[in-house]
Amino acid sequence: MDKYTGFYIDKPVGNNIFSYEDRKNKKIYVPKLISGDLEDVLVGEEIVFNEIDDGSEISSKGLKNMVNYYFQGKDIYIFDNHNHAFYFWIKSLSLNRFSKGCKLVHVDQHKDMREPENYDVEIDNIEDVFRYTNEVLNVGNFIKPALKHGVFSEVIIMDSSYSLDLDIQGEYVLDIDLDIFSKDMDYIPYDTRLAKIQNLIKSARVITVASSPFFIDQEYAIKVLKELFNYDIIEELI
């Protein structure tokens, strides 16, 4: 049984550490993981990310559930806060969905390359990976541990018009943050971003997708998600 059964974090750890002492709300929710399809990706009612920004407390609602969308040997994990990608990478690696040491392609408005508090995690122990993902990692520091522990040999960050033009060769895991479609990224034409990511989807071994509720409206993020994984693309993948 998967560890993601739906739970609250009420201590200043993981994503709940931001502005913890100054916030009125002291807990965030981590949704349950279900098997499903794109129709199961829905906005929930729980606060999943809380932060003080410009003196105001922002309480962001995330997804009702995390969704594992599976077809023809390809796993797609859809969740709200981006640090959960680390857990799903390790889970996918343990299931031999990709080769250890392949590339990570990270498509995101942010680089997410901050240093975590520590690198103390046993990647062969999924329970410890779960602990580490939810109690140590946060939305900005989950990539370096994957590099440190050899899950990936390198990360290719696509966060600009220049990087979106890169040609990716070899085996890779694709990591998408839907905030690449936020208003701050509108200097890159929408269709350019959409087409590039759809092309990357075709050859990815595993795909992780974050809806990033603090950075993009969730209803809009889900709309973009469904456009990314449209039926034409799915048929090509199959």
pLDDT digits (tens, 9 = 90+) for 62-109: 999 999 998 666 899 999 999 999 999 999 999 999 999 999 999 999
**What pLDDT, on the 0 to 100 scale, is given for residue 218?**
96
What are the pLDDT digits (tens) for 31-62?
A: 999 999 999 999 999 999 999 888 889 999 99
CB 152 within 8 A of CB 101: yes
- The rounded distance, in Å, linking the Cα atoms of 144 and 149 is 9
36: exposed, middle or buried (Cβ count in 10 Å: 0-12, 13-18, 19+)? middle
- The rounded distance, in Å, linking the Cα atoms of 11 and 136 is 12
- The rounded distance, in Å, linking the Cα atoms of 32 and 61 is 14
| Domain locations in the chain as residue ranges | 66-237
What are the pLDDT digits (tens) for 173-210?
A: 999 999 999 999 999 999 999 999 999 999 999 999 99
Q: Which amino acid type is present at position 138?
A: N
- The rounded distance, in Å, linking the Cα atoms of 43 and 219 is 7
**Predicted confidence (pLDDT) at residue 233 exceeds the cutoff of 80:** no
- The rounded distance, in Å, linking the Cα atoms of 96 and 80 is 24
Instruction: For residue 67, give both structure tokens.
Output: 């969704």
Domain 66-237 has CATH 3.40.50: yes
